[in-house]
Amino acid sequence: MITELNNPQSVDYEFLLQDAAIHASLMREGELSSVALTQQVLSAIDQLNPKLNCYFAVDREGALAAAQASDARRQRGEVLSAIDGLTVAVKDNIDVKGLVTTAGLGLPENTPVAQRDSFVVNKLRRAGAIILGKLNLHEAALGATNDNYHHGRCINPHRGGFTPGGSSGGSGAAVAAGLCAFALGTDTMGSVRIPASYCGVSGIKPTRGAVSIGGSRILSRRLDHIGPLARAPGDLSLILPLMAGYDPGCAQSANVLFEQWNPNPAELVIGYADVTQGLGVTESVKSAYTSALARFADAGAQQRRQDLQSLDCASARRAGLMLCEVDLFVDQQPLLREHPEYFSPALRKLIAYGIGKSAVDFASADRRLDKAVVKMAAWLEDCDFLVLPTAPQAAFDFCEPAPAGQADLTNMANMSGHPAISVPMGTDGEGLPLGLQIIGPHGSDLQLIALAQWFAQFMPRPQPNLGLL
Amino acid sequence: MITELNNPQSVDYEFLLQDAAIHASLMREGELSSVALTQQVLSAIDQLNPKLNCYFAVDREGALAAAQASDARRQRGEVLSAIDGLTVAVKDNIDVKGLVTTAGLGLPENTPVAQRDSFVVNKLRRAGAIILGKLNLHEAALGATNDNYHHGRCINPHRGGFTPGGSSGGSGAAVAAGLCAFALGTDTMGSVRIPASYCGVSGIKPTRGAVSIGGSRILSRRLDHIGPLARAPGDLSLILPLMAGYDPGCAQSANVLFEQWNPNPAELVIGYADVTQGLGVTESVKSAYTSALARFADAGAQQRRQDLQSLDCASARRAGLMLCEVDLFVDQQPLLREHPEYFSPALRKLIAYGIGKSAVDFASADRRLDKAVVKMAAWLEDCDFLVLPTAPQAAFDFCEPAPAGQADLTNMANMSGHPAISVPMGTDGEGLPLGLQIIGPHGSDLQLIALAQWFAQFMPRPQPNLGLL
């Protein structure tokens, strides 16, 4: 295996699809170098990216140089962190020094590159992460299919022609296909968790403020979060603490303390929802969700039903969308005025809707989201964690229209700021992955990861269909 | 003295003007009853309120019944808190069960009373506080003179015909005149700290989210804070911890941990501002501020200048005002449509300005405030605490126009959410009180109080001019 890894032309996908923690362990034991691993990943990108279209840009030289530096550090016994030498790919609305940040817009080739790393990329770089490149996303991160007007569709590694979800579709696809150990996504209404769910990987939207959004393109300052995706939920516990930290340069950043205790499912009260009506949940998801809840019950967890319908998801969704449309315009105003052609007609239409609104409409929409805060707080007063499907459906064919309520189960955690994780909960009848979402109190990010790890032991890891693409 | 207190007709103002902590201590030692104290306060209100106009409503029976209950608890050895038996008066934009909440508007006599206490009043009641009644404020809490169109001017106890500041003018005046131990105010741009400064008392705007604004009338959800005023800064440490706590029913509430260490001025780096230009600071305030900074220097604190002018206070102020105008309209919309006569022409004009704005204007203004967050964070990265004048001027004659920049030194802490305290820093040439403001990191509320206590030892307590009114 190690020998194969030294030959960059031969890619061992079974190896690449293993947990990042396993690669880290092999490096610790001197059985794997970061250079060998990075070369393998770069070769896999060469092979698969033409089909998946998940990478916009790959910094081959930078990555290999960083891998060499990591190996040299390791030789000297100066390992920087648990992810030193592991690869990270970055959604292309987050700045990476020396690379263009398109935010999924149709920017021209000669667009200036970012002059500095975003806060979070800087932190990861200082932790020894190998920054591979930039990932495809739904245009402006506003939409959940990743059918990008300018850059093309990103393909779900589980099924050709199917959406990986969005807006962090490139992040979900790259992780699922083994084309990085970790990917960074942004999550404004569910954009980390939905692609995690559709692509059969794990992803977390951290507690609001815990991970700075400084150096990312704004969709909505209130709703935006940056979060990591990885193949195994446990891998998230390696990277998330390295991403967190107060950033005085970002108005949305806060000093969030992550709770350090480990939840015992037997002692928990789990909140769940009646998904049989009003939320557009498919039969496959209902069935997988019922089984998932049974796992918690079998472990001894108490269960308490919460009335999700009382939130009026559709009205909350429209309010959230308006915030995005307006805030996005404020951020992109100069570019949009000068180069409307960088924006798709569909995006221009969405923005036009937002900018036609009044200050009172905007403040009312913002206040509409406050209702979601109070609802979520009430549910989390009544139970320890809320367990829901991540998305009401599995990935779908790009030829089908996107369901309106795609983000209705995820966006409430953006509105309230609570942390929320998505972990695979099996597959539907056609073998497409489904996701279970766990939402917890502010600062319970590491508990969410621990619970997802506990749950993952019962679930076979969804295997991508790399050969069939 | 105690005998006198038992005669409700004779008011010992010297006694009433003492620290709340002294009254608490006398009660602890059995030398003072809550009933005797409350009767004195009620008599003082009878005598002074016709001149000061700081109380809108006094709940005489409720207060005496609560005082009797407090005394009975004390007899049984069941004292509820450090403020059990002490009096609290409430700004009239915060709900007190059984009393009307006017928010300073011209509501008719038959307006329904509040059906429940606000979160914070409920907490104080459960701590044994005697809730005295409701206090005058600037109409809708939007303005800093407390020249209330509907309810009349509230008068500064230090000078007849002079403003007590606002919008919590009734709170500042009642505390300064001994008409309560504590008053609750709300602070959206400086509305606790400015009346504290003008009236020669202490007041704190807590860390954002630490004290729930649930059950108060909204001016701006982003900027509103509830905070206490008291005669001595040390008294604030008795009441603030009892007010704080997470309120799941309020979208702006958070679980804020108050740091518990005591700052040593000799070990601190104090940030200060050049107030000689651009901030409209009067000569008296400049001089008192220079002396105040010298106190810190004498104690051994390092001093580091921060560039306040880089914030562009005027533009931040206009942005904050727009948020208030629009959010206030969203809150009061039904009433304003049905009964415009409840709102003064001046307030209707301000609101009309706000509601004429677009969603993009509103989002841009909100984003303008984010700049203040980042500025404040940078200053507080460079020093431990920021020490500024509270207001650029002392109280002024109601016949003079209000200075435009009245809240320019206070509103930045509302924008950033940092805690900020005002403590007396002597008087101007005419004997009018001036205020020193100390701003600190999130959660440093008790450190601010400790620093204000330390500073207060060098300052004679400003004495109100109750005889001259």
User: Which residue ranges make up each domain of chain B?
Assistant: 2-468
Which residue in B118, B167, B197, B416 is the catalytic one?
B167
pLDDT surpassing 60 at residue A369: yes
Looking at the partner chain, which of A221, A257, A363 has a beta carbon nearest the beta carbon of B362? A363
Helix axes A359-382, B345-355, angle to 10 degrees: 90
With DSSP H G I counted as helix, E B as strand and the rest as coil, what are the percentages for chain A, rounded to 5? Answer: 40, 15, 45
pLDDT surpassing 80 at residue B9: no
Which residue in A167, A197, A216, A220 is the catalytic one?
A167
**What is residue A8's predicted lDDT score, i.e. its pLDDT?**
52
Average pLDDT over residues B139-157: 97
Burial class, B266, CB count within 10 angstroms (exposed 0-12 / middle 13-18 / buried 19+): exposed
Looking at the partner chain, which of B221, B354, B359 has a beta carbon nearest the beta carbon of A355? B359
Helix axes A20-28, A233-243, angle to 10 degrees: 70
CA distance linking residue A293 with residue B425, whole number of Å: 62
**What is residue A354's predicted lDDT score, i.e. its pLDDT?**
95
Token pair 């207001």: residue? B391
| B334 and chain A in contact, CB less than 8 A | no
| B224 and chain A in contact, CB less than 8 A | no
Taking residue A278's Cβ as centre, other Cβ atoms within 10 Å add up to 15
CATH superfamily of A2-468: Amidase signature (AS) domain (3.90.1300.10)
Tell me which of A10 and A173 has the higher pLDDT: A173
Token pair 């319908």: residue? A309
Which residue in B34, B168, B171, B191 is the catalytic one?
B191
Q: Percent of chain A scored above 70 by pLDDT?
A: 98
A167 is catalytic: yes
Average pLDDT over residues A279-290: 96
Helix, strand, or coil (residue B203): strand
Of the pLDDT bands very low, low, confident and very high (cuts 50, 70, 90), residue B1 is very low
Residues within 8 A of B (CB atoms), A 125-184 only: none
Residues within 8 A of A (CB atoms), B 236-295 only: 248-252, 254-255, 257
Task: Check: CB of residue B44 under 8 Å from CB of residue B63.
Answer: no
Give residue-wise pLDDT tens across range A381-390: 999 999 999 9
**What is residue B3's predicted lDDT score, i.e. its pLDDT?**
39
Of the pLDDT bands very low, low, confident and very high (cuts 50, 70, 90), residue B439 is very high
pLDDT surpassing 70 at residue A7: no
- Residue A319's alpha-carbon distances to A168, A367, A377, B317, in angstroms, are 21, 9, 19, 27
Give residue-wise pLDDT tens across range A309-325: 899 888 999 999 999 99
Q: What is the pTM of this model?
A: 0.95
pLDDT surpassing 60 at residue B2: no
Q: Tokens standing for A396? A: 């779908």
Burial class, B262, CB count within 10 angstroms (exposed 0-12 / middle 13-18 / buried 19+): exposed
Rg (CA), chain B: 21
B167 is catalytic: yes
Helix axes B313-338, A359-382, angle to 10 degrees: 80
| B359 and chain A in contact, CB less than 8 A | yes
pLDDT surpassing 80 at residue B454: yes
Give residue-wise pLDDT tens across range B195-216: 999 999 999 999 999 999 999 9
Edge-first strand order for the sheet with A433-439 is A55-58, A130-135, A87-91, A182-186, A226-230, A202-205, A420-427, A433-439, A385-389, A269-273, A302-306
- List the one residue out of B213, B176, B218, B168 whose CA is nearest residue B194: B168
- Residue B34's alpha-carbon distances to A290, B39, B117, in angstroms, are 59, 8, 22
Kindly write down the DSSP assignment for every residue of A84-135, as one continuous string.
Answer: TT-EEEEETTB--TTS---TTS---TTPPPPSS--HHHHHHHHTT-EEEEEE
**What is residue B466's predicted lDDT score, i.e. its pLDDT?**
87
CA distance linking residue A323 with residue B269, whole number of Å: 40
CA distance linking residue A288 with residue A74, whole number of Å: 43
How many DSSP H helices and E strands does chain B contain? 15, 13
Q: How far apart are the first and last CA of chain A?
A: 24
Mutating which of B257, B259, B362 best tests the A interface, going by the most A Cβ atoms within 10 A? B362
pLDDT surpassing 90 at residue A463: yes
Q: Inspect the interface and report whether the beta carbons of B330 and A381 lie closer than 8 Å.
A: no
Task: Check: CB of residue A134 under 8 Å from CB of residue A55.
Answer: yes
Cα-flanking dihedrals φ and ψ of residue B205, to 5°? -95, 110
| pLDDT averaged over every residue in chain B | 96
Query: Contacts of residue B326 in chain A, CB cutoff 8 Å?
Result: 359-360, 362-363
Task: Check: CB of residue A119 under 8 Å from CB of residue A243.
Answer: no
Comparing A3-17, A206-220, A267-281, B330-344, the range with the smallest average pLDDT is A3-17
Task: Check: CB of residue A385 under 8 Å from CB of residue A451.
Answer: yes
Q: Tokens standing for A453? A: 């790890």
**What is residue A10's predicted lDDT score, i.e. its pLDDT?**
82
Measured in whole angstroms, the distance separating CA B241 from the mean position of its chain's CA atoms is 16
Task: Check: CB of residue A159 under 8 Å from CB of residue A177.
Answer: no
| B440 and chain A in contact, CB less than 8 A | no
CB pairs under 8 A between A and B: 96
Average pLDDT over residues B179-186: 98
Task: Check: CB of residue A166 under 8 Å from CB of residue A137.
Answer: yes
Give residue-wise pLDDT tens across range B210-263: 999 999 999 999 999 999 999 999 999 999 999 999 999 999 999 999 999 999
Q: Tokens standing for B17? A: 């003007």
**What is residue B218's predicted lDDT score, i.e. its pLDDT?**
95
Query: Contacts of residue B364 in chain A, CB cutoff 8 Å?
Result: 330
Give residue-wise pLDDT tens across range A48-93: 999 999 999 999 999 999 999 999 999 999 999 999 999 999 999 9
Give residue-wise pLDDT tens across range A212-231: 999 999 999 999 999 999 99
Query: Contacts of residue A327 in chain B, CB cutoff 8 Å?
Result: 363, 367
pLDDT surpassing 70 at residue B5: no
* Backbone CA torsion sign across B330, B332, B333, B336: negative
Q: Inspect the interface and report whether the beta carbons of A359 and B354 lie closer than 8 Å.
A: yes
Q: If phi over 0 gives left and psi between -120 and 50 gives alpha, with beta otherwise, what is residue A300?
A: left
Q: Which residues contact A244 (CB under 8 A, 6 or more apart)?
A: A206, A210, A211, A256, A258, A445
Give residue-wise pLDDT tens across range B343-372: 999 999 999 999 999 999 999 999 999 999
Taking residue B366's Cβ as centre, other Cβ atoms within 10 Å add up to 26
